[in-house]
Structure 1
Amino acid sequence: MQNSSRIRLTVGWITLFLMGTDLFVVSPLLPFISQEYHISSAITGWMVTTFAVTYAASAPFFGWISDKKGRRYFITLGLSLFVLANILTGLAPSFAWLISSRILAGLAVASITPLIYAIIGDVAPSDRRGAWLSIVVSGHLMALWAGAPVGALLEHFLGWRFVFLAMALMGAILAVINFKAWESIPRVASGRKVIKGNMVRILGSVSVTAIWAISMYTLYVYLGAALYSLNKFTSSEVSLAVTIYGIGAVIGSLTSGQITGRFGEGIISKVTLALLSIVLIVLGGFFSSGGWIYLILFVWALVGYAGFTSYQARLAADFSEHRGTALAWNNTALYIGITLGSVIGSYVVANWGYSLLPYISSGAAAISFFIGMHKLPISRRLEEVK
């Protein structure tokens, strides 16, 4: 039983690491893709936008259908589409072809990432659910500072197309492994009436994640430019700062999983959201402090992603009968928040400069905390509506 648990956690971790790499590796590859197709970086950036929009729009459907039909086949289907999408990306003869392939990739990842979270929540012991989710979340976060640089390194030696073809190969292997790993997983029964009754509660709950994402990405999207402008950081110093941030995110996620088992998902998610608002104020005060910024960035990521992981565990516990739906909507809320955060950050930078970003982010974290303090009424369980 213990070996089976370790295998499933390992499979979930590696799968989410690959999904994260597929998302984060595009950014360092953009200059080379722009050069090959003779287009601007701004236009090439639509690779990320189309992926994110497709993911956000389709993830709730896959979460809902997996609650009704089971998750194993949709994870396997998603990985098969992932293989096809990355082959098409790697072989794309035109930019239009490339954009189409990234739309397919967004659809594929939408049927994988939230369902991996959900199926881990299904199989984890109730007192270890937070720890299990934190482990697989760390796989996705690891791609932020490990997967993307490795992809950039491969591009240097073999070209950007090889990066996507290599991910397609890994996806094909993982499709087989996932199909086997999630064999004999019982499907959680759910009913249409219960979903209708809980939908308002689910949307209200995931709004916490959307505003949390605004608090993180309003600043993070412009972090490199802000460090260069306010601290006169070199490119290597900016890279070091981002790496330290990424390490803090992974440690925060893993630490959160350990302490939620002791204190509970609800308490940890509330405490970390409150701390996040405070840390961002401190970050604003010390943003141009030179070397101290490294430590504060580490603490920011540590607290921020501890909050994200513990809140996912809270949703998995609160919506046990509709875990796939809730976690899929949570991922959609995450992408909406990231998009809004980048828009807000752009407006703030254009009108007031970089120094105000941490305080705007702190305000968003405070709003997320206050919303998270209140829980909407729970609808009747399935047995009561039958």
Structure 2
Amino acid sequence: MNLYLTLLVVFFIQFVISLEASFISPIIPYLADYFNIRESSVIYLNLGFSTIGLFSPLFGMAADKYGKKNIITFAILTFLSGTIITGWAPSPVIFGLGRMLIGVGNITLTTTLLSYISDFISYENRGKGNGILRIAFAIAILLSPIYSTNMVKYFNIHYLYWSVSILSVIILFLSIKLPKDHNVHISHSSELNLKEVISITKEPITIKFLIIQFLLILAPILMFNYLSIWLKHNFNLTQSHIGYVFTLTALGTVIGVTIAAILSDKIGKIKYCILSFILMTLFLAPLPYIKSIRLVIPLTFFYALGLDGGWSAFQTICSEIYPNRRTVFMTLLYFVISVCSLLLTIIGPSLFELGGYKLVIGIGTISNILSVILLIDVSKDKSFNIK
């Protein structure tokens, strides 16, 4: 399989897992009614998904030891199993267990796909390669809100998830055709162990990027987890209209990742990150104080544009910090995402009930500001030569 077909298959895999990952937030009101639970408690259905991310470094170690292609196929099988169980789930507990399996597949694929294609693409062009993954992600989250809200409106949760099962079977067969990754950077070290992972975390640059990762992901988790509830109660929007707001927001993601794929390699990835994250902070801060839905949509649009455009460049930078242990470092970053997601899954409902959308967005805004400050500090470090 040539490079273009390989990228096309990876694109489709990223699209499918991103499509499912964007289902929950727009249909929180539906899930609350379906399982007869409080709206603010629906986020607990993600507890298994978030928890499994704590084991992401192990998935990265396995990918470096057994080959990324093999791990990709395993992850798709697990993802497929999870979608079948989630679609069938008669109770919140079974639904959560199904999403835990989906989480194994999603997290493994998310942390492995960029590392996999990096074996075939030079760093100078990796912004474009990562852009392909981010465009797949962007298209998925553009379609996901309308698709999920209308599927549960006209059918039910079973058909929503089983349709993803069909797509999962397709990407499973496509993954078998993928070329084997080079693995040249690990041929001398097949006995990758936990001590080596720990040694990476002791490096100052690792600590900085793990902190930046935590601060960056905190805001979008809080913002999107409670956006549908806020829209429903503040603007009296129906489930379908909430889906349209999410879709219009996702247009910002599509444009953001497209611009990043074109410009980040030209103006410098870290500079692009900083500018994008400043943009998203400026549009996030006033969101909970807006009284008109016509103003909410531009704010969420530009927030998504800054977030996902900057995120594309940020991931590309991260993929080159430890080129000989790329997958492990990327899974460490995803481990931090999972820790943040798990923490907010546990305390998020209490924060929302305590201070509403203003409190959670206020926390997110502060975390964004701190992440930008740290990124600027990294960019001024003469020992950091990745631009």
Question: Which amino acid in 2 is paired with 1:199?
Answer: T
Residue 64 of structure 1 corresponds to 61
Q: Report the alpha carbon displacement of residue 179 of structure 1 after superposing the two structures with TM.
A: 2.1
Is 2:330 the counterpart of 1:327? yes
Partners of 2:42 and 2:242 in 1: how far apart? Answer: 23
Give SS of 1:317's match: coil
Give SS of 1:189's match: helix
Residue 272 of structure 1 corresponds to 276
Partners of 1:35 and 1:225 in 2: how far apart? Answer: 13
Residue 187 of structure 1 corresponds to 183
5+ residue gaps, structure 1: 380-386
Question: Which amino acid in 2 is paired with 1:69?
Answer: Y
Question: Which amino acid in 2 is paired with 1:363?
Answer: I
Among 100, 103, 106, the alignment partner of 1:103 is 100
Pair 200,249 (structure 1): closer, same or farther in 2 beyond 3 Å: farther
Kept in 2: contact 1:16–1:140 (CA 8 A): yes
Structure 1 segment 1-386 matched on structure 2, within 5 A: 4-27=2-25, 45-54=43-52, 56-92=53-89, 96-181=93-178, 183-190=179-186, 191=189, 192=192, 195-201=197-203, 202-227=206-231, 232=235, 234-235=237-238, 238-281=242-285, 283=287, 287-288=290-291, 291-340=294-343, 346=349, 349-355=352-358, 357-375=360-378
Question: Which amino acid in 1 is paired with 2:87?
Answer: G
Pair 377,105 (structure 1): closer, same or farther in 2 beyond 3 Å: farther
Give SS of 1:163's match: helix
Post-superposition CA distance 1:221-270 (Å, at most 9, x none): 3334444565x353365444322211102221221122121122222222
Give SS of 1:288's match: coil
Moved more, 309-318 or 150-159: 150-159
Partners of 1:234 and 1:352 in 2: how far apart? Answer: 21
5+ residue gaps, structure 2: none
Question: Which amino acid in 1 is paired with 2:51?
Answer: V
Partners of 2:69 and 2:143 in 1: how far apart? Answer: 28
Q: Report the alpha carbon displacement of residue 68 of structure 1 after superposing the two structures with TM.
A: 2.5
Residue 382 of structure 1 corresponds to none
Pair 252,344 (structure 1): closer, same or farther in 2 beyond 3 Å: farther
Moved more, 63-72 or 195-204: 195-204
Moved more, 196-205 or 13-22: 196-205
Q: Report the alpha carbon displacement of residue 127 of structure 1 after superposing the two structures with TM.
A: 1.5
Kept in 2: contact 1:218–1:342 (CA 8 A): no
Partners of 1:229 and 1:92 in 2: how far apart? Answer: 28
Partners of 1:214 and 1:36 in 2: how far apart? Answer: 28
Residue 383 of structure 1 corresponds to none
Partners of 1:348 and 1:341 in 2: how far apart? Answer: 9
Give SS of 2:185's match: coil
Q: What is the percent sequence identity of the aligned residues? A: 17
Kept in 2: contact 1:34–1:41 (CA 8 A): yes
Partners of 2:279 and 2:42 in 1: how far apart? Answer: 37
Partners of 2:55 and 2:383 in 1: how far apart? Answer: 26
Post-superposition CA distance 1:82-107 (Å, at most 9, x none): 22222233344665544433322222
Kept in 2: contact 1:145–1:243 (CA 8 A): yes
Partners of 2:36 and 2:284 in 1: how far apart? Answer: 40
Moved more, 297-306 or 272-281: 272-281
Post-superposition CA distance 1:342-361 (Å, at most 9, x none): 66765555444434554432
Question: Which amino acid in 1 is paired with 2:97?
Answer: S
Q: What is the total number of aligned residue pairs between the two structures?
A: 373
Q: Report the alpha carbon displacement of residue 195 of structure 1 after superposing the two structures with TM.
A: 4.3
- Root-mean-square deviation (CA, aligned residues, Å) is 3.3
Q: Report the alpha carbon displacement of residue 178 of structure 1 after superposing the two structures with TM.
A: 1.4
Pair 167,362 (structure 1): closer, same or farther in 2 beyond 3 Å: same
Question: Which amino acid in 1 is paired with 2:295?
Answer: W
Give SS of 2:202's match: helix
Partners of 2:295 and 2:69 in 1: how far apart? Answer: 46
Pair 337,95 (structure 1): closer, same or farther in 2 beyond 3 Å: closer
Q: Report the alpha carbon displacement of residue 119 of structure 1 after superposing the two structures with TM.
A: 0.9
